[in-house]
Amino acid sequence: MRALVYEGPGRIALGDVDEPVPATGEVLLTVEAAGVCGTDRHIVAGDLGVPPGTVPGHEIAGTILEVDSEVEGWKPGDRVAALGQATCGTCPPCLEGRSNRCHRPQILGMARQGGFAERIALPASCLICLPDGVTDAVGAIASDAIATPYHALTTVGRLQAGETVVVIGAGGLGLHAIQLARLADAARIVAVDQSEAARDAALEAGADEALDPTVDEEPARALRRAARGATLVLECVGRSETVELGLGALAPGGRLVVVGVGTDRPRLPPLGMFIGAELSVHGSFGSTTDEIRTVLDLIVSGRLDVSRSVRRQVPITEAADVLTEPLGPGRTVVIPKEQIP
Residue 20 carries which DSSP code?
Answer: P
Among the listed residues 69, 96, 102, the one whose alpha carbon sits nearest the alpha carbon of residue 84: 102
Mean residue pLDDT of the chain comes to 91
Q: How confident is the model at residue 172 (pLDDT cuts 50, 70, 90)?
A: confident
Of 45-59, 143-157, 230-244, 263-277, which gets the smallest average pLDDT?
263-277
Residue 258 has pLDDT above 60, yes or no: yes
Residue 338: predicted pLDDT:
63
Question: Is pTM beyond 0.75 here?
Answer: yes
Give the closest residue to 121 by CA, choosing from 20, 192, 219.
20
Distance CA 171, CA 197 (A): 10
- Work out the average pLDDT over 317-327: 84
Q: Does residue 337 carry a pLDDT above 80?
A: no
Domains defined for the chain, CATH in brackets: 2-145+287-335 (3.90.180.10), 158-283 (3.40.50.720)
Range 177-192 average pLDDT: 95
**Could you give the CA distance from residue 101 to residue 284 in angstroms, rounded to a whole number?**
10
Residue 341: pLDDT band (50, 70, 90) is: low
Instruction: Work out the average pLDDT over 274-300.
Output: 93
Does 339 or 16 have the greater pLDDT score?
A: 16
* Element containing residue 29 per DSSP (H, E): strand 26-35
Q: What is the pLDDT of residues 219-253, one digit of tens each?
A: 777 887 887 888 999 999 988 899 998 998 899 99
Q: Give CA–CA dist 249/38, Å, rounded.
A: 24
Query: Would you state the pLDDT for residue 339?
Result: 54
Residues 296-307 pLDDT 10s? 999 999 999 998
